[in-house]
Amino acid sequence: MGELITPLRGCLSKMAIEPGASGAPARYTLRAGEHRLDLNARLGQPLRLAHTGAIACTHCGRATRKSFAQGYCYPCFKRLAQCDTCIVRPETCHFHAGTCREPEWGERHCFQPHVVYLANSSGLKVGITRKTQVPTRWLDQGAIQALPILEVDTRQQSGFVEVLFKEQVADRTNWRAMLKGDVAPLDLRAERERLLAALDGGLANLRERFGLDAVRVLDAEPVTLDYPVLEAPTKVVSLNLDKTPEIAGTLLGLKGQYLILDNGVINLRKFTGYEVVFE
C-alpha cells in the first residue's frame, strides 16, 4: 500500500470500495499510482483534482494520447480479450470458434462461475458478474439493493440468461437518478419469483442446451448497501477532466464510482490511467 500523503500524484485506477460493517456506509479508497487515500475521511472537506495531461495504459503502461475502453492504449484495446466486444455482450463469445484473442485469459476469466443478479440502483435491473466479484460489482454500480438469483458455469451462459431477462427488465442504470438518490426500495424476492415464472420456458431451453444443472436457482437473501453521502445532488452536473483539467469543490458524497462535489459529479473510473495531482 502506498504512503498516505497529500497532495499525491499518480495514474488513477477505479476507486476501491468495501461494504461497510453492520450497515455502515461503504468505505472508499482513492487509488493514484502507488498512493492510497481514505476518501470517507475527506467528506465535507475541499479537494482538488488536476490532470497533468499524461495518460498511461492501465495494461502495458505506455503513454497514450487517448484512453480507450476506460484505460487502455489503442494497441492493447485491439489486442486484449478483455477489450473485445464479447466482454460487453457475453452471448457473442467466440472462444469455441478458436478466435479468442487470448485463449488462456479467456479460460481464466470466462470459464468460471458467474452470477445473474437483480439490483436496484435507479430501479430494477438485471446484471451479471463473476461470482468472485460479489458484492464489488453492485457497489461499483451504486446499487442500494441486490439479490443473486441464478448461477451458471461460464460467462457466455450468463450472457444468454441476461438476454432472456432483458425481455422483462432493464439491464442499465440511470446514473443521474442513482446519484440523486430518489430510488424507492423494491421487494427483490417478489421480483425474482415473478421473473423466474415469466421466463421459465426460456430457462428450460437453456438447460436443455447446456445441461439440466447449467442454470442453477439460488436461494439467497437480498443485500442492502449504503453509501457515504452527506448531500445528494438535486441537479446532476457531470465534470470531465478532458474538458476541465482542474476540478475543485467540496466532497459531499461517494456513490458507485462517482465523487459527488458541491459543484458537480465525476466518474473516476472513466479516467483510469489519467495522471492526476490530488489534494
Statement to judge: residues 196 and 150 lie in one domain: yes
How much is the pLDDT for 6?
64
Asked whether the beta carbons of 140 and 117 are under 8 A apart, the reply is no
* All cell numbers assigned to 92: 457473442
How many Å apart are CA 66 and CA 187, to the nearest integer? 43
Which tens digits make up the pLDDT trace of 104-153? 999 999 999 999 999 999 999 999 999 999 999 999 999 999 999 999 99
Statement to judge: residues 202 and 118 lie in one domain: yes
Parallel/antiparallel/unpaired status of strands 264-267 and 274-278: unpaired
pTM: 0.94
Which of the pair, 21 or 145, is modelled with greater confidence?
145
Statement to judge: residues 217 and 244 lie in one domain: no
Number of domains within the chain: 2
Statement to judge: residues 192 and 233 lie in one domain: no
Question: Within a domain: residue 42?
Answer: yes
Give the domain extent around 130: 112-224
Our measurement of the distance from residue 75's CA atom to the centroid of its chain's CA atoms, rounded to an integer in Å, reads 24
Which residues neighbour 42 within 8 Å (Cβ) at sequence distance 6 or greater? 251
Which residues neighbour 3 within 8 Å (Cβ) at sequence distance 6 or greater? 34, 35
Statement to judge: residues 202 and 257 lie in one domain: no
Asked whether the beta carbons of 260 and 239 are under 8 A apart, the reply is no
Question: Within a domain: residue 89?
Answer: no
Which tens digits make up the pLDDT trace of 192-241? 999 999 999 999 999 999 999 999 999 999 999 999 999 999 999 999 99
Q: Which of 238, 115, 149, 229 is nearest to 183 (CA)?
A: 229
How many Å apart are CA 23 and CA 88, to the nearest integer? 32
Which residues neighbour 121 within 8 Å (Cβ) at sequence distance 6 or greater? 141, 142, 143, 144, 173, 178, 183, 256
Statement to judge: residues 210 and 121 lie in one domain: yes
